[in-house]
A and B are shown apart, each in its own frame.
Chain A
Amino acid sequence: MTPETFAPDPLRRALLAGSVSAIATAGAAPFATALAQGTAPRPLPAYAAFKDAGSMIVHSANTIETRRGAATAGALTTVSQLYVRNNLAPPPASIVAAPDDWTVGVEGVKRPRSFTVRELKAMGSQSLAMVLQCSGNGRGMFPSKPSGTPWQVGAAGCVMWTGVPVRDVVRALGGTLAGLPFMTGTGGEVLPEGINPKSRVERSVPAAAMADALLAWEINGQPIPLAHGGPLRLIVPGFTGVNSVKYLKRLAFTAQESDASIQQTDYRMTPAGEASMRPADPSVWQMPPKSWIALPLADTTGLRAGPVTVQGVAFCGVNAVRQVDVSTDGGATWQPARLVGPDLGRFAWRQFELTLQLPAGRHVLASRVTDAKGNVQVENRVENKGGYLNSSWRDHAVTLTVA
């Protein structure tokens, strides 16, 4: 086989590559990660004990994935099935016992001050549906096996946040000061004494993201649990999850990007061959167009020749979904899928569906989304050291056997 030959079957590619964890790409093994690590499935950590254990893959106490196919790609992801990724251990659960008392400082504005969540709630609220996706979702499909959690598709969900728009808070404080191109959020995780303060969770994004951002206290109509950043989380729609800082203690408009390690030497699109991530490389911010098939999967039983309905989800970062196409021949030809379910706005995912007439045999199905600006989901992943932003439609293809 020449390198140019299309190897359409993710399972086969996984086996060729000797990567057991990649088998989950094909939906073949819920516990593939545990197998890959030679361990029994881990229990849910206490702060995420409310998760639906049968739907989740516990990679570690701070990395918990939704199994592909666990949910049939509903318009919204339930909190009990939503993935968890914490960069540091969460603060004590006591902080969500009295969420209205939590305080956040706002800086880099004409009249800086701090607010309790109670005060923020009095300033007004807005709800916004958004795809929350870990920067490393799909890392498990990189044959280069980058360091980090080998997520398949399940470090993503679509949830409804409620909070006060950042722009309204900033307006109430007289606007931002001049010459501050970044919006920087700082998490409330407590570091032990003696630890380098660069270990804090702090992320900077372009200040323009303020236009869509929220200071949120609710997820899907309930107070945000500790696992998802309650009592207060900065929500930056269209950006990867790490930018939506949990346990928000400080929101600042700043002249520079944060000097925290998580900003400078991680979450960078550094080429795969480099020894370390370089602060000069592009930061992992906006999410590129991406879609995947949720059902059927390689392990779906009872597929018979005839009509087979394919369902999935598609999203495009800050842009709306225009169109989703499905291919049954490795991308040679594409057929448009129907967009179904509600349109919850440009930051949410769209459900898609297409009924195919499949003869008996093996079929490789891929989906590909196009956004409202004409950007198309990429065919091949962008190789990078951290294994970030995998939106390759080839990597996300599924192989079905129809009887």
Chain B
Amino acid sequence: MRPTRFAWRLAVTALIAAASASHAQTSSNDVARGRQLFSLGAPPLPACALCHKLQDAKATGAVGPDLDDLMPDAARVETALRNGMGPMPSFAALGDEQIRLLARYVAQAAGARKP
């Protein structure tokens, strides 16, 4: 039974991985745009990089959480951007598209596990 069950689990895992990969695929263009938004901000809104560490963006901010360590998923980043979190004010002024772009980028760059 055990090997069969193991094989089943492998197959299911592979299926889920494939499905979520195609679903959550972020185009290289989006990654570049997300990274740029992260590094430079959207004036007058300051850049994420001023406060946060994120290796992918060569960001070394040391004010707020280290994102490589925190590994937030996209939903968590989106919530933080929309509502603010702790001392971080809301970045809702970015607008929906840029918020989603940044959320996807940070989640991917920080290595968030799939929810």
Chain A contact residues, CB within 8 Å of chain B = 37-38, 42, 60-62, 87-89, 147, 189, 191-192, 194-196, 198-201, 260-262, 265-266, 275-277
Residue among B50, B64, B66 making CB contact with A194, cutoff 8 Å: B50
Inter-chain residue pair count (beta carbon < 8 A)? 72
Q: List 27 A-B contacts (CB under 8 A).
A: A37-B71, A38-B113, A42-B69, A60-B66, A61-B66, A61-B69, A87-B87, A88-B63, A88-B64, A88-B87, A147-B85, A189-B63, A192-B51, A192-B63, A194-B41, A194-B46, A194-B47, A199-B51, A199-B63, A201-B87, A260-B87, A261-B87, A262-B87, A265-B84, A265-B89, A266-B85, A276-B90
Interface string of B56-81 (1 = CB under 8 A from A): 00000111111001110000100110
Q: Is the CB of A87 within 8 A of B63?
A: no
Query: How many residues from B make CB contacts under 8 Å with A?
Result: 27
Nearest-neighbour CB distance to chain A for B71, whole angstroms, equals: 8
What B residues does A189 contact at CB under 8 A?
Answer: 63
Query: With contacts A37-B71, A89-B63, A195-B63 known, what are 16 further pairs, Cβ within 8 A?
Result: A60-B69, A60-B70, A88-B87, A89-B64, A192-B50, A192-B61, A195-B46, A198-B89, A199-B63, A200-B87, A265-B83, A265-B89, A275-B82, A276-B82, A276-B84, A276-B90
Complex: chain A residue closest to B91, CB-CB: A196
Known: A194-B50, A195-B51, A196-B89. A261 touches B84 (CB 8 A): yes
The 6 closest A-B pairs by CB, nearest first: A276-B83, A261-B89, A194-B46, A192-B50, A198-B89, A199-B87
B86 touches A (CB below 8 Å): yes
Question: B62, A89: Cβ atoms under 8 Å?
Answer: yes
